[in-house]
Chains A and B, each alone.
Chain A
């Protein structure tokens, strides 16, 4: 089987729909290690990948006023047991433009694989940018994932990021996303990760609400068991009038796992307000007992509670 077919197979296992790669109305880009092995563009979208020694540099642009109708599908991965993949993205979403990206990152056989992503994203005024990233890892845990993003959001714009790593071992994970938000714009960042064995999870998601009436929501849902470790830093800074933000972190631990939540809330304008809530602990006893009172065994009840939180 060729790399392309193997990538699509792994993509499907990660929850993606293979049919999107056959639809000419849906833009896509498939990158295996440092090779671009599949690409389709649609009108208004500029997507220029350039292969490098260790990955791919990607220029993405959506021109002024263009709204890409269908989600753009990205598939990144390394199929062999060892390898490195460095993805550098420079994205510009011009004024009045909009795009939704759905990225699947697949590393099904990783024993010693490093996946790095460095993104610089500029979203103009009255624009919309949504980035969803779903990871599918193998069961060996020999993977290191390091995604970094610096995002600037113009006025009256909206940013959504969703990161999901729920299938397979996490390995070592170190995410760092930071966004600046201008007037009347909003950011909505969510990360959901399930770690076990000796997985190590580190997340920093930060929002700077520097524009008047800017909005920010940072949400983390993490479950760790066995000897897994997680550290979540959720940071919201508000220094403009009428800026509003909320940080919401829930971590469930089982076994010998360890979890740490560090909410950082920094408000420097008397007319701004940021709230936060964080909860770390074992699965809520009442939730489990409620499901057990309907006839579920304890283990199954815990699975449902954790699965719901990570859904």
Chain B
């Protein structure tokens, strides 16, 4: 069953077309990765799905569990079970890690908060009462962000580059956590530019210049990405130049 369907959305920001006629379908209970180079439009896609300010699609529709959410606010989408782990999480002076993680929980559950921190290799005793401010490193904030998403138990979690800024030792745990999100019933839309991370998904969409240019098995897409996209100097999918790529499969 489809949990998220995007029908031909377009996004223009300050006169630049960021997303072009983009379509995507994500099956419930899966990990679906969006693989693409920098500036492919991956984060913009995440913001459009989430309904962030300034990221309302000018064209196209977004459906979540069959319901048209295109014009719904960020809060309403989140209340329906959609959330985003931000690529660069915000800092919050005066807000403790415990309270930050609890924000998305229906009922504050200390045991679950501690469990979520352990999943990202952070010792609860060392972190619960610390503030989510500049005293935490980028990597720590990133892990806390993932812990917050884990504790929220959303129906669909968009993880925007969860692997960036994470050291190699913690990366294994992040991958385990993403798989556990799936086990607990959360569908994951995993945004990444790393082939090896993308390969933990059940399905991969390859993104370039605001298009979904190819879709298929993660391994196959990963190899294509490695062989064709990484060396590509233009970062413009070849088919796009003659107008063939219109959000469909190539």
Please, which residue of chain B has its CB at the minimum distance from the CB of A250? B93
**Which residues of chain B are near A290, meaning CB under 8 Å?**
86, 89-90
Could you say which of B75, B92, B131 contacts A305, with CB atoms under 8 Å apart?
B92
**Which residues of chain A are near B95, meaning CB under 8 Å?**
304, 308, 311
Q: Mark A273-303, 1 if CB is under 8 A from B, else 0.
A: 0000000000011110111111111100000
In the bound assembly, the distance between CA atoms of A23 and B95 in angstroms comes to: 33
The total of Cβ contacts below 8 Å across the A-B interface reads 62
**Which residues of chain A are near B73, meaning CB under 8 Å?**
292, 298
In the bound assembly, the distance between CA atoms of A287 and B133 in angstroms comes to: 11
Q: What's the dominant secondary structure at chain B's contact region?
A: mixed
| Pair A292/B94 contact, Cβ less than 8 Å | no
In the bound assembly, the distance between CA atoms of A307 and B103 in angstroms comes to: 14
Q: Mark B80-113, 1 if CB is under 8 A from A, else 0.
A: 0001101001111111000000011000000000
| Pair B93/A294 contact, Cβ less than 8 Å | no
Please, which residue of chain B has its CB at the minimum distance from the CB of A301? B75
Q: Give the B interface residue count (CB, 8 A).
A: 23
- Of listed B83, B86, B103, residue having the most chain A CB within 10 A: B103
In the bound assembly, the distance between CA atoms of A309 and B134 in angstroms comes to: 13
Could you say which of A289, A304, A309, A311 contacts B103, with CB atoms under 8 Å apart?
A304
- Of listed A289, A294, A298, A311, residue having the most chain B CB within 10 A: A294
| Pair A285/B53 contact, Cβ less than 8 Å | yes
| Pair B92/A298 contact, Cβ less than 8 Å | no
**Which residues of chain A are near B148, meaning CB under 8 Å?**
294
Selected A-B contacts with CB under 8 Å, 24 pairs: A285-B53, A287-B90, A287-B91, A287-B92, A290-B86, A292-B74, A292-B75, A293-B74, A293-B83, A294-B83, A294-B148, A295-B83, A295-B103, A295-B104, A295-B152, A296-B75, A296-B103, A297-B75, A298-B73, A304-B103, A305-B92, A307-B94, A308-B93, A311-B93
Report, nearest first, the 8 A-B pairs whose CB atoms are least far apart.
Answer: A308-B94, A294-B104, A311-B94, A308-B95, A295-B78, A292-B74, A287-B90, A294-B103
